[in-house]
């Protein structure tokens, strides 16, 4: 099975386990889309910005002396966007609706990022 297909399967499982997740995208740290479970929107722009945000977040965590980055969470009036490093080469972005259980989102987002990282390490 190809990387794209395996990663997409994990993203679909994430949506099934977390009902408020409205979509996700996995991209390379260079901003190239690997797999997308987004409905509508600009996938390419989302991938590019996700990679840039992850790089900035990693740098900020180091500068602030807060250790290794676990996630970046953006809270907006229409919901949430969470960003995870899925190993050294992949960024996982998860979009969620307003009222999302953030504890569940963080738990499942991290679990999915770890699964995606494991898939990537085998390829």
Domains of the chain: 3-101 (3.30.450.30)
pLDDT for 57 equals 97
What is the distance between the alpha carbons of residues 90 and 14, in angstroms, rounded to a whole number?
16
Mean pLDDT value across residues 104-119: 97
pLDDT for 114 equals 97
pLDDT band at 40 (very low <50, low <70, confident <90, very high): confident
Percent of the chain past pLDDT 90, that is, above it, reads 93
Residue 123 has pLDDT above 90, yes or no: no
What is the distance between the alpha carbons of residues 81 and 73, in angstroms, rounded to a whole number?
6
The residues near 116 (Cβ < 8 Å, ≥ 6 apart) are 7, 10, 26, 86, 87, 90, 92
Q: Model's pTM, two decimal places?
A: 0.94
Mean pLDDT value across residues 28-48: 92
**Three-class secondary structure of residue 37 per DSSP:** coil
Q: Which of 17, 30, 21, 40 lies closest to 80, judged by CA?
A: 21
């Amino acid at each position: 099975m190809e990387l794209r297909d395996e990663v997409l399967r994990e993203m679909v499982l994430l949506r099934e386990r977390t009902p408020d997740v409205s979509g996700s995208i996995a991209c390379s740290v260079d901003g190239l889309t690997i797999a997308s479970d987004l409905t509508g929107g600009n996938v390419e722009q989302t991938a590019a910005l996700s990679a840039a945000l992850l790089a900035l977040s990693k740098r900020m965590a180091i500068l602030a002396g807060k250790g290794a980055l676990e996630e970046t969470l953006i809270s907006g009036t229409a919901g949430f966007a969470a960003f995870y490093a899925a190993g050294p080469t992949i960024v996982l972005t998860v979009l969620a609706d307003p009222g999302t259980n953030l504890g569940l989102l963080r738990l499942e987002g991290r679990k999915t990022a770890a699964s995606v990282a494991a898939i990537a390490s085998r390829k």
